[in-house]
Copies of this chain bind each other. A is one copy, B any other.
Protein backbone atom coordinates (compact mmCIF):
# COMPACT_ATOMS: atom_id res chain seq x y z
CA UNK A 1 0.00 0.00 0.00
CA UNK A 2 1.14 3.47 -0.85
CA UNK A 3 1.93 5.93 1.89
CA UNK A 4 1.51 9.65 1.35
CA UNK A 5 5.25 10.23 1.71
CA UNK A 6 5.95 8.12 -1.38
CA UNK A 7 3.71 10.18 -3.63
CA UNK A 8 5.45 12.29 -6.24
CA UNK A 9 3.11 15.25 -5.85
CA UNK A 10 4.86 18.48 -5.09
CA UNK A 11 1.82 19.47 -3.07
CA UNK A 12 2.28 16.63 -0.63
CA UNK A 13 6.06 17.12 -0.54
CA UNK A 14 5.47 20.82 0.21
CA UNK A 15 2.12 20.81 1.95
CA UNK A 16 -0.09 23.87 1.53
CA UNK A 17 -0.62 25.01 5.10
CA UNK A 18 -3.83 26.87 4.37
CA UNK A 19 -5.59 27.75 1.15
CA UNK A 20 -5.94 31.31 2.48
CA UNK A 21 -2.28 31.85 3.30
CA UNK A 22 -0.79 34.84 1.49
CA UNK A 23 1.87 32.65 -0.14
CA UNK A 24 -0.93 30.94 -2.02
CA UNK A 25 -0.66 32.25 -5.61
CA UNK A 26 -4.41 32.01 -6.10
CA UNK A 27 -4.87 34.28 -3.10
CA UNK A 28 -2.25 36.72 -4.41
CA UNK A 29 -3.99 36.89 -7.77
CA UNK A 30 -7.29 37.34 -5.98
CA UNK A 31 -5.91 40.35 -4.15
CA UNK A 32 -4.45 41.81 -7.34
CA UNK A 33 -7.80 41.74 -9.13
CA UNK A 34 -9.95 42.03 -6.01
CA UNK A 35 -12.24 44.79 -7.27
CA UNK A 36 -12.93 43.01 -10.57
CA UNK A 37 -13.43 39.70 -8.82
CA UNK A 38 -15.91 41.29 -6.42
CA UNK A 39 -17.72 42.68 -9.44
CA UNK A 40 -17.81 39.20 -10.99
CA UNK A 41 -19.18 37.67 -7.80
CA UNK A 42 -21.84 40.39 -7.63
CA UNK A 43 -22.74 39.81 -11.26
CA UNK A 44 -22.93 36.04 -10.74
CA UNK A 45 -25.46 36.61 -7.96
CA UNK A 46 -27.36 39.19 -10.01
CA UNK A 47 -27.58 37.16 -13.21
CA UNK A 48 -28.59 33.91 -11.51
CA UNK A 49 -31.85 35.57 -10.50
CA UNK A 50 -34.97 34.17 -12.13
CA UNK A 51 -38.72 34.30 -11.49
CA UNK A 52 -38.29 30.56 -10.89
CA UNK A 53 -36.70 30.38 -7.42
CA UNK A 54 -35.26 26.87 -7.83
CA UNK A 55 -32.85 28.20 -10.46
CA UNK A 56 -30.77 30.52 -8.22
CA UNK A 57 -31.14 28.06 -5.35
CA UNK A 58 -29.63 25.19 -7.31
CA UNK A 59 -27.08 27.30 -9.20
CA UNK A 60 -25.81 29.04 -6.08
CA UNK A 61 -25.29 25.70 -4.33
CA UNK A 62 -22.63 24.92 -6.90
CA UNK A 63 -21.32 28.40 -7.72
CA UNK A 64 -21.03 29.47 -4.07
CA UNK A 65 -19.76 26.04 -3.11
CA UNK A 66 -16.06 26.70 -2.98
CA UNK A 67 -15.06 26.91 -6.61
CA UNK A 68 -11.64 28.45 -7.15
CA UNK A 69 -12.87 30.80 -9.91
CA UNK A 70 -9.68 30.10 -11.87
CA UNK A 71 -11.31 30.53 -15.28
CA UNK A 72 -12.89 33.94 -14.67
CA UNK A 73 -9.65 35.05 -12.99
CA UNK A 74 -7.83 34.21 -16.23
CA UNK A 75 -10.13 36.54 -18.14
CA UNK A 76 -9.74 39.34 -15.60
CA UNK A 77 -5.95 39.02 -15.30
CA UNK A 78 -5.45 38.67 -19.07
CA UNK A 79 -7.60 41.75 -19.73
CA UNK A 80 -5.68 43.75 -17.11
CA UNK A 81 -2.31 42.58 -18.47
CA UNK A 82 -3.43 43.67 -21.95
CA UNK A 83 -4.30 47.12 -20.66
CA UNK A 84 -8.07 46.79 -21.03
CA UNK A 85 -10.11 49.68 -19.64
CA UNK A 86 -13.83 49.04 -19.54
CA UNK A 87 -16.46 46.76 -18.04
CA UNK A 88 -16.86 44.00 -20.60
CA UNK A 89 -14.22 41.84 -18.88
CA UNK A 90 -16.44 41.44 -15.82
CA UNK A 91 -19.36 40.30 -17.98
CA UNK A 92 -17.16 37.88 -19.89
CA UNK A 93 -15.55 36.49 -16.74
CA UNK A 94 -19.06 35.90 -15.36
CA UNK A 95 -20.07 34.24 -18.65
CA UNK A 96 -17.01 31.98 -18.45
CA UNK A 97 -17.91 30.93 -14.90
CA UNK A 98 -21.53 30.27 -15.97
CA UNK A 99 -20.39 28.07 -18.87
CA UNK A 100 -18.09 26.21 -16.48
CA UNK A 101 -20.88 25.77 -13.93
CA UNK A 102 -23.31 24.56 -16.60
CA UNK A 103 -20.82 21.91 -17.71
CA UNK A 104 -20.26 20.82 -14.09
CA UNK A 105 -24.00 20.42 -13.55
CA UNK A 106 -24.27 18.31 -16.70
CA UNK A 107 -21.08 16.36 -15.92
CA UNK A 108 -22.43 15.34 -12.55
CA UNK A 109 -25.59 14.04 -14.23
CA UNK A 110 -23.54 12.22 -16.87
CA UNK A 111 -21.17 10.69 -14.28
CA UNK A 112 -23.89 10.14 -11.66
CA UNK A 113 -21.54 11.81 -9.18
CA UNK A 114 -22.71 12.39 -5.65
CA UNK A 115 -19.96 14.59 -4.25
CA UNK A 116 -18.26 17.70 -5.62
CA UNK A 117 -16.04 20.08 -3.68
CA UNK A 118 -16.91 18.14 -0.53
CA UNK A 119 -20.64 18.73 -0.86
CA UNK A 120 -23.53 16.70 -2.20
CA UNK A 121 -23.96 17.34 -5.92
CA UNK A 122 -27.00 19.23 -7.20
CA UNK A 123 -28.28 16.12 -8.97
CA UNK A 124 -28.34 14.26 -5.64
CA UNK A 125 -30.21 17.07 -3.89
CA UNK A 126 -32.57 18.26 -6.66
CA UNK A 127 -32.47 15.37 -9.14
CA UNK A 128 -31.09 15.00 -12.65
CA UNK A 129 -33.91 16.88 -14.45
CA UNK A 130 -33.34 20.08 -12.47
CA UNK A 131 -29.56 19.82 -12.94
CA UNK A 132 -29.91 19.43 -16.70
CA UNK A 133 -32.32 22.34 -17.01
CA UNK A 134 -30.52 24.74 -14.68
CA UNK A 135 -27.34 23.94 -16.62
CA UNK A 136 -29.19 24.98 -19.78
CA UNK A 137 -30.34 28.15 -18.08
CA UNK A 138 -26.79 29.12 -17.01
CA UNK A 139 -25.53 28.37 -20.48
CA UNK A 140 -28.16 30.71 -21.95
CA UNK A 141 -27.37 33.36 -19.35
CA UNK A 142 -23.70 33.11 -20.34
CA UNK A 143 -24.65 33.99 -23.92
CA UNK A 144 -26.85 36.85 -22.74
CA UNK A 145 -23.83 38.24 -20.86
CA UNK A 146 -21.67 37.91 -23.95
CA UNK A 147 -24.28 39.79 -25.98
CA UNK A 148 -24.17 42.52 -23.33
CA UNK A 149 -20.38 42.58 -23.61
CA UNK A 150 -20.94 43.55 -27.24
CA UNK A 151 -18.26 41.72 -29.22
CA UNK A 152 -19.23 39.22 -31.90
CA UNK A 153 -15.59 38.09 -32.11
CA UNK A 154 -15.56 37.20 -28.41
CA UNK A 155 -18.93 35.49 -28.77
CA UNK A 156 -17.47 33.38 -31.56
CA UNK A 157 -14.50 32.32 -29.42
CA UNK A 158 -16.69 31.30 -26.48
CA UNK A 159 -19.34 29.61 -28.65
CA UNK A 160 -16.58 27.58 -30.31
CA UNK A 161 -15.20 26.65 -26.92
CA UNK A 162 -18.65 25.52 -25.76
CA UNK A 163 -19.06 23.29 -28.82
CA UNK A 164 -15.58 21.82 -28.37
CA UNK A 165 -16.27 21.13 -24.68
CA UNK A 166 -19.39 19.15 -25.61
CA UNK A 167 -17.42 17.24 -28.25
CA UNK A 168 -14.76 16.41 -25.66
CA UNK A 169 -17.37 15.18 -23.22
CA UNK A 170 -18.97 12.92 -25.82
CA UNK A 171 -15.56 11.59 -26.85
CA UNK A 172 -14.85 10.91 -23.18
CA UNK A 173 -18.08 8.93 -22.90
CA UNK A 174 -16.91 6.78 -25.78
CA UNK A 175 -13.54 6.09 -24.17
CA UNK A 176 -15.23 5.17 -20.89
CA UNK A 177 -13.93 1.88 -19.48
CA UNK A 178 -11.73 1.34 -22.55
CA UNK A 179 -8.15 0.65 -21.46
CA UNK A 180 -7.18 0.45 -25.15
CA UNK A 181 -7.78 4.21 -25.44
CA UNK A 182 -4.63 5.77 -26.86
CA UNK A 183 -2.83 8.46 -24.88
CA UNK A 184 -3.35 10.71 -27.92
CA UNK A 185 -7.12 10.26 -27.72
CA UNK A 186 -7.04 10.92 -24.00
CA UNK A 187 -5.09 14.14 -24.55
CA UNK A 188 -7.64 15.09 -27.23
CA UNK A 189 -10.41 14.58 -24.66
CA UNK A 190 -8.86 16.83 -22.04
CA UNK A 191 -7.79 19.45 -24.59
CA UNK A 192 -11.48 19.68 -25.50
CA UNK A 193 -13.36 19.16 -22.25
CA UNK A 194 -11.08 21.24 -20.02
CA UNK A 195 -8.41 23.18 -21.89
CA UNK A 196 -10.73 24.77 -24.49
CA UNK A 197 -12.47 26.89 -21.85
CA UNK A 198 -9.17 27.87 -20.17
CA UNK A 199 -7.89 28.91 -23.61
CA UNK A 200 -11.00 30.93 -24.46
CA UNK A 201 -11.10 32.54 -21.01
CA UNK A 202 -7.55 33.86 -21.42
CA UNK A 203 -7.89 34.74 -25.11
CA UNK A 204 -10.94 36.97 -24.69
CA UNK A 205 -8.87 39.13 -22.32
CA UNK A 206 -6.65 40.04 -25.28
CA UNK A 207 -9.56 40.40 -27.70
CA UNK A 208 -11.54 42.92 -25.67
CA UNK A 209 -8.32 44.92 -25.18
CA UNK A 210 -8.03 45.02 -29.01
CA UNK A 211 -4.64 43.31 -28.94
CA UNK A 212 -3.44 41.79 -32.21
CA UNK A 213 -4.02 38.20 -33.31
CA UNK A 214 -0.56 37.08 -32.14
CA UNK A 215 -1.21 38.31 -28.58
CA UNK A 216 -4.63 36.65 -28.59
CA UNK A 217 -3.11 33.40 -29.88
CA UNK A 218 -0.39 33.53 -27.21
CA UNK A 219 -2.98 33.90 -24.45
CA UNK A 220 -5.06 31.11 -25.98
CA UNK A 221 -1.94 28.93 -26.01
CA UNK A 222 -1.22 29.84 -22.39
CA UNK A 223 -4.76 28.93 -21.38
CA UNK A 224 -4.79 25.69 -23.36
CA UNK A 225 -1.49 24.47 -21.86
CA UNK A 226 -2.59 25.51 -18.38
CA UNK A 227 -5.89 23.70 -18.87
CA UNK A 228 -4.15 20.48 -19.89
CA UNK A 229 -1.83 20.71 -16.88
CA UNK A 230 -4.81 21.46 -14.62
CA UNK A 231 -6.75 18.42 -15.83
CA UNK A 232 -3.76 16.06 -15.61
CA UNK A 233 -3.23 17.15 -12.00
CA UNK A 234 -6.95 16.66 -11.39
CA UNK A 235 -6.63 13.10 -12.67
CA UNK A 236 -3.54 12.54 -10.53
CA UNK A 237 -5.17 13.96 -7.40
CA UNK A 238 -7.97 11.48 -7.77
CA UNK A 239 -5.41 8.88 -6.70
CA UNK A 240 -2.83 10.82 -4.72
CA UNK A 241 -4.63 13.61 -2.84
CA UNK A 242 -5.69 13.64 0.74
CA UNK A 243 -9.49 13.33 0.83
CA UNK A 244 -9.76 16.32 3.15
CA UNK A 245 -8.03 18.49 0.55
CA UNK A 246 -9.76 17.00 -2.44
CA UNK A 247 -13.29 17.48 -1.17
CA UNK A 248 -14.28 14.18 -2.67
CA UNK A 249 -13.45 10.52 -2.32
CA UNK A 250 -10.08 9.16 -3.44
CA UNK A 251 -10.43 6.71 -6.32
CA UNK A 252 -13.71 8.03 -7.72
CA UNK A 253 -12.30 7.88 -11.25
CA UNK A 254 -11.15 4.31 -10.61
CA UNK A 255 -14.53 3.19 -9.33
CA UNK A 256 -16.26 4.87 -12.27
CA UNK A 257 -13.93 3.05 -14.67
CA UNK A 258 -12.49 6.30 -15.99
CA UNK A 259 -9.37 5.97 -18.08
CA UNK A 260 -7.04 8.82 -17.24
CA UNK A 261 -3.38 9.29 -18.10
CA UNK A 262 -2.02 7.52 -14.98
CA UNK A 263 -4.09 4.44 -15.86
CA UNK A 264 -3.10 4.52 -19.54
CA UNK A 265 0.60 4.76 -18.61
CA UNK A 266 0.27 1.87 -16.17
CA UNK A 267 -1.54 -0.16 -18.83
CA UNK A 268 1.12 0.61 -21.46
CA UNK A 269 4.02 -0.24 -19.15
CA UNK A 270 2.39 -3.16 -17.39
CA UNK A 271 2.90 -6.92 -17.59
CA UNK A 272 0.36 -9.27 -19.21
CA UNK A 273 -1.01 -9.80 -15.69
CA UNK A 274 -1.43 -6.05 -15.35
CA UNK A 275 -3.39 -5.96 -18.60
CA UNK A 276 -5.74 -8.62 -17.25
CA UNK A 277 -6.10 -6.66 -14.01
CA UNK A 278 -6.96 -3.38 -15.75
CA UNK A 279 -9.44 -5.02 -18.06
CA UNK A 280 -11.18 -6.62 -15.13
CA UNK A 281 -11.37 -3.54 -12.91
CA UNK A 282 -11.90 -0.87 -15.58
CA UNK A 283 -13.52 -2.51 -18.58
CA UNK A 284 -15.60 -5.11 -16.75
CA UNK A 285 -15.95 -2.99 -13.62
CA UNK A 286 -15.34 -5.99 -11.36
CA UNK A 287 -13.59 -4.46 -8.37
CA UNK A 288 -12.79 -6.05 -5.03
CA UNK A 289 -11.84 -4.23 -1.81
CA UNK A 290 -8.07 -4.46 -2.45
CA UNK A 291 -8.12 -3.42 -6.10
CA UNK A 292 -7.81 0.35 -5.67
CA UNK A 293 -4.76 -0.07 -3.41
CA UNK A 294 -3.19 -2.52 -5.86
CA UNK A 295 -3.90 -0.20 -8.80
CA UNK A 296 -2.25 2.70 -6.98
CA UNK A 297 0.76 0.56 -6.08
CA UNK A 298 1.23 -0.55 -9.70
CA UNK A 299 0.80 3.01 -11.02
CA UNK A 300 3.43 4.17 -8.54
CA UNK A 301 5.83 1.30 -9.37
CA UNK A 302 5.46 1.82 -13.11
CA UNK A 303 6.09 5.55 -12.82
CA UNK A 304 2.59 6.51 -13.94
CA UNK A 305 2.24 9.25 -11.30
CA UNK A 306 5.72 10.66 -11.92
CA UNK A 307 5.16 10.63 -15.67
CA UNK A 308 1.78 12.32 -15.42
CA UNK A 309 3.23 14.99 -13.13
CA UNK A 310 6.14 15.46 -15.55
CA UNK A 311 3.70 15.90 -18.44
CA UNK A 312 1.69 18.45 -16.46
CA UNK A 313 4.87 20.26 -15.47
CA UNK A 314 6.02 20.45 -19.09
CA UNK A 315 2.65 21.83 -20.18
CA UNK A 316 2.90 24.35 -17.36
CA UNK A 317 6.36 25.42 -18.55
CA UNK A 318 5.00 25.88 -22.07
CA UNK A 319 2.12 27.93 -20.67
CA UNK A 320 4.56 30.25 -18.93
CA UNK A 321 6.67 30.51 -22.08
CA UNK A 322 3.61 31.67 -24.04
CA UNK A 323 3.49 34.75 -21.79
CA UNK A 324 7.05 35.85 -22.63
CA UNK A 325 5.91 38.21 -25.39
CA UNK A 326 4.04 40.30 -22.83
CA UNK A 327 6.02 42.88 -20.85
CA UNK A 328 6.66 42.34 -17.17
CA UNK A 329 3.68 43.29 -15.01
CA UNK A 330 2.02 42.17 -11.79
CA UNK A 331 -0.66 40.46 -13.91
CA UNK A 332 1.81 38.52 -15.98
CA UNK A 333 3.53 37.45 -12.77
CA UNK A 334 0.15 36.38 -11.38
CA UNK A 335 -0.66 34.39 -14.53
CA UNK A 336 2.73 32.66 -14.22
CA UNK A 337 2.16 31.94 -10.52
CA UNK A 338 -1.22 30.44 -11.29
CA UNK A 339 0.51 27.84 -13.47
CA UNK A 340 2.68 26.82 -10.54
CA UNK A 341 -0.37 26.67 -8.32
CA UNK A 342 -2.25 24.46 -10.77
CA UNK A 343 0.66 22.05 -11.08
CA UNK A 344 1.50 21.98 -7.38
CA UNK A 345 -2.00 22.15 -5.92
CA UNK A 346 -3.21 19.63 -3.38
CA UNK A 347 -6.92 20.32 -3.94
- A residues near B, CB below 8 A? 50-52, 54-55, 102-103, 106, 109-110, 128-130, 132-137, 139-141, 143-144, 146-147, 150, 152, 155-156, 159-160, 162-163, 165-167, 169-171, 173-174
Find out whether the CB atom of A54 lies under 8 angstroms from the CB atom of B174.
yes
Main secondary structure of the interface of A (DSSP, over half): helix
**Which B residues are CB-close (under 8 A) to A52?**
167, 170-171, 174
Q: A67 to B135: give the CA distance in the assembly, Å.
A: 25
Total identical chains: 2
User: What is the minimal beta-carbon distance from A114 to any residue of chain B, in angstroms?
Assistant: 16
**Which B residues are CB-close (under 8 A) to A110?**
128-129, 132-133
Q: A27 to B109: give the CA distance in the assembly, Å.
A: 40
Find out whether the CB atom of A137 lies under 8 angstroms from the CB atom of B155.
no
**Which B residues are CB-close (under 8 A) to A166?**
55, 133-134, 136-137, 140
Most central of A130, A155, A167 by chain B CB within 10 Å: A167
User: What is the minimal beta-carbon distance from A126 to any residue of chain B, in angstroms?
Assistant: 9
Find out whether the CB atom of B144 lies under 8 angstroms from the CB atom of A163.
yes
- 17 CB-based A-B contacts, threshold 8 Å: A51-B167, A55-B167, A106-B132, A110-B128, A132-B132, A133-B166, A133-B170, A133-B173, A134-B170, A136-B169, A137-B163, A140-B162, A140-B163, A143-B162, A147-B156, A150-B152, A152-B152
User: What is the minimal beta-carbon distance from A134 to any residue of chain B, in angstroms?
Assistant: 7
